[in-house]
Amino acid sequence: MKLMFDLQVLALQSDLTRVITFKMGFDQSNRSHPESGTNKGVHGASHHGNIPADVLDFNKINTYRGSQLAYFLAKLRDTMDGEASLLDKSAIVFGSPMGDPNLHNHRRCPLLLMGHANGALEGGLHLRAPRGTPMANVMLALIHRLGIDDMEQFGDSTGAFSLSA
């Protein structure tokens, strides 16, 4: 993952691209991440059955993946592009398609927006969407913040989710 993140930073820094899509792994994969502290595969660990030791293994995998994201964010923060860092100039969307993978629940999925998108995002906020809010509402709000104001809908959005406190 670090190599892929390094390549992404280079691509942004050299202006080879302005958009990158990166999936950390296939959630149904049985690939393990021994560097996480467990040899369990991602998919098997996600079906932990609420058994404390198995929940801990899944937590180890997610903590490891989160540390890789932190590595990427630090690289963006430490890479200057003119007067601002790449992190200040970027919008990074990170999330999961599962709210509770143990049950294959697609409700209340976690979503993070990082970076300042050239001042379009405030940062330092924790916002909780009301129950039943489509994730597409956040995407629509982000599109608006990035200057595309004439888009009234995105996917199954029901309106723009406020990205302010």
The pLDDT of residue 88: 97
The pLDDT of residue 90: 96
Radius of gyration of the chain measured on its C-alpha atoms: 17
Q: How far apart are CA 46 and CA 112, in angstroms?
A: 20
The pLDDT of residue 108: 82
Q: How far apart are CA 159 and CA 152, in angstroms?
A: 8
Q: How far apart are CA 69 and CA 157, in angstroms?
A: 27
Q: How far apart are CA 126 and CA 80, in angstroms?
A: 27
The pLDDT of residue 89: 97
* Average pLDDT, consecutive stretches of 10 residues, N- to C-terminus, the chain (165 residues): 97 96 84 93 91 94 94 98 96 88 82 95 92 94 96 96 93
The pLDDT of residue 31: 86
Question: Is the full-model pTM beyond 0.85?
Answer: yes
37 φψ region: left (φ > 0), alpha (ψ -120 to 50), beta (else): left
The pLDDT of residue 91: 96
What residues have CB less than 8 Å from 12, skipping those under 6 apart?
Answer: 18, 20, 76, 79, 81, 86, 90
